Amino acid sequence: MSRSDRYHELNAEGGYNAKKHLITAGCDAVEMAATYGTPLVVLDELTIRQRCRAFVRGLKDTGLGGGAWYAAEVNPSQTVLRIVRQEGLGVAAASLAHARAALNAGFSGGAILLYGPKSKETIDKAVAQGIGRISVDSVEEIDALQSSASEAGVSQDVLLRINPELNVPLHAQDSLWGCAPGARFGVPQEEALNAVKRIAACPNLRLIGLHAHLGSQIESGQPYVAALEQLTDCVVLAMVVIGAEMRELNLGGGFPIRFARDDDPPPVGETMAELSYALRSMCQRKGMRLPALSLTPGRAIIQEAGTLLTTVEAVKRYDGAGMRPVAVTDAVAPDASNTAFARRQPMFALANRVGGDLEPCSVADRSCSPSGFLAWDVTLPRLKAGDLLACYAQGREPWPYSCATALAQYGNATLINRHHEDDGYLSLEKVPARLNH
């Protein structure tokens, strides 16, 4: 398919109104930009709810009894968390800050899973706050958890996070993976049984299952099946050696989204059916009780729901052969991981006008960072300063300073957050009292 065909196919997906303005989440993109300023991230509430329901329904259809836990680190907005709670998901928190955000959004402690590396202080606070599930990331955390639970006089549910050590075949240009040999998260597979023994020996800890996370944008169900094979092996070994029975397997997140033009992720229900069949077959073959299957989707819930509206501040053109023009926008890319996606031809559209000769270009943010690109190679009508661009699948936060966020529903948009550079630093920064003189 030619560049021209791809561009016009994308326009047909978004659609333009009679003013020749792009329609985003049912709203006029140009009017939203004029009202709230740019850069502006527009979250489509209906898309968030649909993605939540896809995971809830997909897991329910498996009949395995597990649940979905939204990975709050992807976007910890109070608005998003409240929508997720209304749709029946729990929250997977990578830090106490995300756990507190979930509590503020109305989640009970029992609906929160705390994961990732944790200090003794973090563990003490998590147990004291009644966090329902804590994922053990290293053997060093086990004694700290037992001490905290004993002091609080509670029985703490824990999962053991294992690194399956798989070379997951992700997209060639996406480096967002976390389960290869030597990865920093989880207990190495060869240490898993000893970790299970240590947890089983702790009177205040109740090991309810195993936890794993394979990475991001995993475009096939096979890596999940391979991880299930290793996790079920561990369950059987623990049962045979020490009689420890675990009732839940949590495969983390990493489900693919449509970020780049050529992405074609399978439906969530299709992947769930594949995993359910594989798990049932493994359990029958290994003679083990069927465990519940849980997931922690993050990007798969929120990223496709967000559209970034950003204004072109300048277009740099070069005389060198093969040198693409660079459109410099008023946005700032969220983090270095965005670079991996920027190389994959993300979906863009010109929002304020239709037509014009098409040309390949790069789209840069306004930072001085070498990774500050929203796209390395996209095709758009010949751009000029003042044009408004829409970049799709940008629901992940936090976007840095100078960015507003609006929630759109049925053609109506409401501003939910504004961090503009003229007041963002002053309003957010807390100056130590000793410097106030």
Q: What is the DSSP letter of 147?
A: H
On whether both 292 and 319 belong to a single domain, the answer is no
| CATH code at position 266 | 3.20.20.10
The encoded tokens of residue 80 equal 């998003």
Residue that finishes a domain, picked among 265, 297, 329: 297
Task: Give the pair of three-digit tokens for residue 221.
Answer: 């169900």
Q: What is the pLDDT of residue 232?
A: 94
Same domain? 142 vs 259: yes
Domain that includes residue 135, residue range: 115-297
**287's torsion region: left (phi>0), alpha (psi -120 to 50) or beta?**
left
Chain Cα centroid distance, residue 369? 23
Last residue of a domain, one of 242, 273, 297: 297
Q: Nearest 5°: phi and psi at 103?
A: -60, -40
* Calpha distance 238→259 (Å, rounded): 40
Same domain? For 247 and 140 the reply is yes
The rounded distance, in Å, linking the Cα atoms of 119 and 234 is 26
**Whether residue 144 sits in one domain with residue 186:** yes
pLDDT at 170: 47
Say whether 403 sits in a helix, a strand or coil.
Answer: strand
Which of residues 261, 276, 297 is at a domain's end? 297
Say if 237 falls within a structural domain. Answer: yes
At 433, phi and psi to the nearest 5?
Answer: -60, -30
* Tens-level pLDDT at each residue, the chain (437 residues): 444 444 444 444 458 999 999 999 999 999 999 999 999 999 999 999 999 999 999 999 999 999 999 999 999 989 999 999 999 999 999 999 999 999 999 999 999 999 999 999 999 999 999 999 999 999 999 999 999 999 999 999 999 999 887 765 544 344 344 555 556 678 888 899 999 999 999 999 999 999 998 888 888 888 899 999 999 999 999 988 888 888 999 999 989 888 877 788 899 999 999 999 999 999 999 999 999 999 999 999 999 999 999 999 999 998 776 788 999 999 887 654 555 566 667 889 999 999 889 999 999 988 877 778 888 889 999 999 999 999 998 888 655 556 788 999 888 888 887 665 555 444 555 665 766 65
Does residue 102 fall inside a structural domain? Answer: no
Cα separation, 395 vs 335, in Å, equals 13
Angle, helices 120-128 vs 96-104, to 10°: value is: 20
**Alpha-carbon gap, residue 102 to 93, rounded angstroms:** 8
DSSP 124-143: HHHHHTT-SEEEE-STHHHH
Examine the domain organization and report whether 280 and 328 are in the same domain. no
Cα–Cα dist 27/410, whole Å: 8
In a domain, 110, yes or no: no
The answer to whether residues 323 and 280 belong to one domain is no
Both 344 and 407 in one domain: the answer is yes
Count: domains in the chain: 2
Instruction: Tell me the C-alpha distance between 144 and 134, whole Å.
Output: 12
52 close to 31: Cβ distance less than 8 angstroms: no
